[in-house]
Structure 1
Amino acid sequence: MYKRVSTGVLMTGLAALASTAAQADELSDAERAARTEVWAPVPPVVAAPAGGVPSDAVVLFDGTDLSAWEGEEGGPAEWRVEDGAMTVVPGAGGIRTREAFCDVQLHLEWRTPADIDGFDGQDRGNSGVFLQQRYEIQVLDSHDNPTYANGQAASIYKQHMPLVNASREPGEWQSYDILYTAPRFDDGGELDTPAHVTVLHNGVLVQHHATIQGTTEWIGAPSYDEAHGCAPLYLQDHDAAVSFRNIWIREL
């Protein structure tokens, strides 16, 4: 049913609107613009030197030592450090950061071996960057090297192929810039929000806010089979002498 509104109430409302409009008309452009300006809180200042590391980043590898890392089961990280890079020692196992992380911006540079004789597909320069030690961004020599698309370089392994193949030739340095949002779990341990990741490979967008479907699996489907909190960044030993350098991370 419609409710009858008295003429007096209607006229009062119209008068109020007219008064408000009149007051707005009396404001200057600067005063009207100021109504949508936000001055606080002021964003913190972060120094961002050209080609350098942001001032609020955690440096995980500066080319000198592996003090920020340990072996995948604990103990010393046993990769080789020389000429400003750290290189997988095949058979030594992967390495993980001593510190745990959740949401991050990650920068790292990597290089697959230049000698590719006798190697192809997944056997050519294979490694991986595991966010929270569970979710892999594939590292692989994908320059003129056919393999399954959701297993090539910059794929979310076995989940999402990259939008394009931005790979450089074997033996050349390449870069990943990764924006990662960790999954959230409810009080009962059930998944509330899945993880998401954006990846730039050599400055080219290859994963755009892609949904991570669960833990990385070589065989079978991914799943979020257990709730977890922050966890280390992990670099994989996949029996190839892949090198890494200039690794830094920003907690978001």
Structure 2
Amino acid sequence: MTKPILMAFCALAAATTFARAQGERQRDPAKTEVWKPVPVTVATPKDAAPSDAVVLFDGTDLSAWEAEQGGNARWTVADGAFTVVPGSKGIRTKKRFCDIQLHIEWRSPAKTQGFDGQNRGNSGIFLQELYELQVLDSYGNPTYSNGQAASIYKQAIPLVNASRAPGEWQEYDVIWKAPRFSEGGGLASPARITVLHNGVLVQDGTIVSGKTEYIGAPSYSPHGCAPIYLQDHDSKVSFRNVWVREL
């Protein structure tokens, strides 16, 4: 073998060896392993709030809540739940929230005779006191679709009706992303909400058009973090197992 051919052969062999080594390194699973940051551990005991949650009702008292106009919340507490006292007005959390994961269980009255539409098991969960996730007995109870259970009231119809029968406990699991406002007060990004009703996806990253209005179109005004508000709509709706995780 002549010297030029030998040199070329050696160069080719070296290149092949280098390419093989590079290929081996690229196939090394450690190349795509990320070890830091390490996620914080959150304990998730069965039938209890996660360890990093803010418990808003533990079945005993309404110490985390206050009346709509200040002072002690006047709704009743019994058997591990609390219930609307019609005519007493709503209640709100003492703590203010922005982005949250919310778990809340609710139950409409079992007795439905003489009640239908919006008069049957009506309440509401207002995120930041302004944006209503509807609570309503929507089990075989026709009403306008953007006002039924799990609607964003007068704005967004739920994907399906996952309601249980009146008198049965129901669950909402909510991811709430608060709206953002510019320094000048303009809307930088609208609120978004994801809701599972009894484990079924009913709002999927829904854009909220503004604060809840009974009459007229929704709109935004700048604000900061605010309480969660539960509505008194003249129906003895009950709640239990209420907790939030701040996101």
Q: Same fold (TM over 0.5)?
A: yes
Residues 1:244 and 2:239 aligned together: yes
- 1:27 alignment partner, SS class: helix
1:24 pairs with one of 22, 25, 28: 22
Distance 1:20 1:159 in 2: 62
Report Cα offsets for 1:170-216 as digits up to 9, x if no partner: 11110000001000001101000000000000111000000000000
For residue 53 of structure 1, report the CA deviation from its aligned partner.
Answer: 1.0
Q: Which residue of 2 aligns with 1:10?
A: none
Unmatched segments (≥5 aa) in structure 2:
1-14
Q: Which residue of 2 aligns with 1:223?
A: 219
Residues 1:59 and 2:55 aligned together: yes
- CA RMSD in angstroms comes to 1.6
For residue 29 of structure 1, report the CA deviation from its aligned partner.
Answer: 3.1
1:75 pairs with one of 56, 71, 74: 71
**Distance 1:43-1:91 versus aligned 2 partners, 3 A rule:** same
Q: Which residue of 2 aligns with 1:105?
A: 101
* TM-score of the two chains, using structure 1 as the length reference: 0.89
One-letter amino acid of the structure 1 residue matched with residue 227 of structure 2: P
For residue 46 of structure 1, report the CA deviation from its aligned partner.
Answer: 0.2
Distance 1:103 1:28 in 2: 40
Q: Which residue of 2 aligns with 1:200?
A: 196
* TM-score of the two chains, using structure 2 as the length reference: 0.91
1:128 pairs with one of 121, 124, 127: 124
Q: Which residue of 1 aligns with 2:228?
A: 233
One-letter amino acid of the structure 2 residue matched with residue 24 of structure 1: Q
One-letter amino acid of the structure 1 residue matched with residue 231 of structure 2: Q
For residue 20 of structure 1, report the CA deviation from its aligned partner.
Answer: 8.2
Distance 2:16 2:154 in 1: 62
Q: Which residue of 2 aligns with 1:48?
A: 44
One-letter amino acid of the structure 2 residue matched with residue 25 of structure 1: G
Distance 1:247 1:20 in 2: 61
For residue 21 of structure 1, report the CA deviation from its aligned partner.
Answer: 5.1
The structure whose Rg is larger is: 2
Distance 2:16 2:100 in 1: 51
Q: Which residue of 1 aligns with 2:141?
A: 145
Structure 1 runs (4+) deviating above 4 angstroms are 17-23
- 2:32 alignment partner, SS class: coil
Distance 2:89 2:164 in 1: 26
Distance 1:151 1:20 in 2: 67
Counting aligned pairs with the same residue, the percent is 67
For residue 73 of structure 1, report the CA deviation from its aligned partner.
Answer: 1.4
